Amino acid sequence: MLVVEKWSGNMRQRLCGTVTRKFHEVLACGLSLVLSAGSMRARPVSEFIFTSAPFTSCHASTIVELRNGELLAAWFGGSAEGEPDVAIWGARRSGGHWSIPVVLVREPETPAWNPVLFYSKDERLWLYYKFGPNPATWTAGRMWSLDHGQTWSEPEHLPAGLYGPIKDKPLVLDDGTIVSGTSVESYRSWAVWIERSNDNGKSWTKFGPITVPLGSTGSDATRAAPAQVHGGAEWTQTYGIIQPAIVSMGGDRLRLYARSTSNIGAICVADSPDRGITWTPARPIDLPNPNSGIDAVRLQDGRIVVAYNNTKSGRTPLNLALSTDGEHFQMFSVLEDQPGEYSYPAIIQGRDGDLHITYTWNRTKIRYVRFPLAEVPK
């Protein structure tokens, strides 16, 4: 500044003119970069929720968007599925990063299974889960939070026969009615049920069973199951559907999408014309299912996205498919296609329209994907 003051007026004028021109050039260049960046399409973001943890095995994640825009995920983790040390763990995504996993609930001397997070209409955040030696003998538990997952109530064990959502989030209707997809895994027989609550989960009414009638799948219903079946040899002789995901089809019409046994081999659907009270028998559609969990979400514009394994055996690849009518789907994204297990997806649509997905990654990690709505085909 002192040096410039010693220069002549003409020199100062030329210097100012040069600086002004350079400033406008830099400003124009910056504006061009901003406009160019704004015109670029956002791409999916994929990351692990954790890279190290105090457990060696994990599975069956769930995800919810909190009211402040953060995300909360949960899953079960321990030495191995079904071992007594398996607990329900969770992590929060805030500021673009996931927190360190923490135990949300641990039942003494018995494994925990399949957490599900969702809000009821009264703004209570719920965590439903299962505990017990195996899915044929487990009991349901739940906890709730009034501060969006910062603190939780004590665990509540539900009466025998009441399970809450088995894997996928329930559908909460505009009037607050909770339509929860549940299922029962008995010896060689699986069936879907619906649990419905009109009082934010204080009481429930059960509807069902919903099954795939024997013979309705043609030759698929009697063919031998693939050799690569999870769960042991007994699964090759089991028939039915479990773990339904429920979506609205507009008005009072609902539809569920369910996992099936390998002798059915396809995602199955059933329909309700009266907000989940009565249901049609289930039937397979044109998406394969290798006896592995799925999830579905109805987008804000009415289209349906299903997350699933696009194969009839094994648990890779993991895919997304889109439908405009809920019946016919087109696969549009491959989330994973390498050898391994990529399974049990959970999918929601955020308030900004983007999809948020979590899934099991080789039973050692939970992966999170943010999938921009702009990347979903029209």
Per 3-state DSSP, the chain is made up of helix, strand and coil in percentages (nearest 5) of 10, 45, 45
Tokens read off for 64: 């919810």
Predicted local confidence at residue 215, as pLDDT: 78
The tokens for 123 are 């703004």
Q: Is the pLDDT of residue 218 over 90?
A: no
Question: Coil, helix or strand for 373?
Answer: helix
What integer is the mean pLDDT of 185-193? 96
CA 192 from chain centre, in angstroms, equals: 19
Q: Which two tokens stand for residue 58?
A: 């994990």
User: Residue 375, SS3?
Assistant: helix
Per-residue pLDDT tens digits for 231-286: 555 667 899 999 999 999 999 999 999 999 999 999 999 999 999 999 999 999 99
What pLDDT is recorded for position 24? Answer: 42
Backbone phi and psi for residue 338, each to the nearest 5 degrees, phi listed first: -85, 160
Token duo for residue 150: 């910062």
pLDDT at 332 over 80: yes
In Å, the largest CA–CA distance within the chain is: 99
| pLDDT greater than 90 at residue 1 | no
CA distance 11 to 326: 73
The pLDDT of residue 20 is above 50 = no
Q: What mean pLDDT do residues 205-212 have?
A: 98
CA distance 190 to 237: 11
The predicted structure's pLDDT at residue 21 = 46
- Look at 186 and 231; give whichever has higher pLDDT: 186
Name the H helices within the chain.
2-5, 9-39
- pTM metric for this prediction: 0.87
For residue 8, pLDDT over 70 is answered with no
Residues 88, 113: Cα–Cα separation, whole Å: 7
To 5 degrees, how large is the angle CA 309–CA 299–CA 302?
A: 115
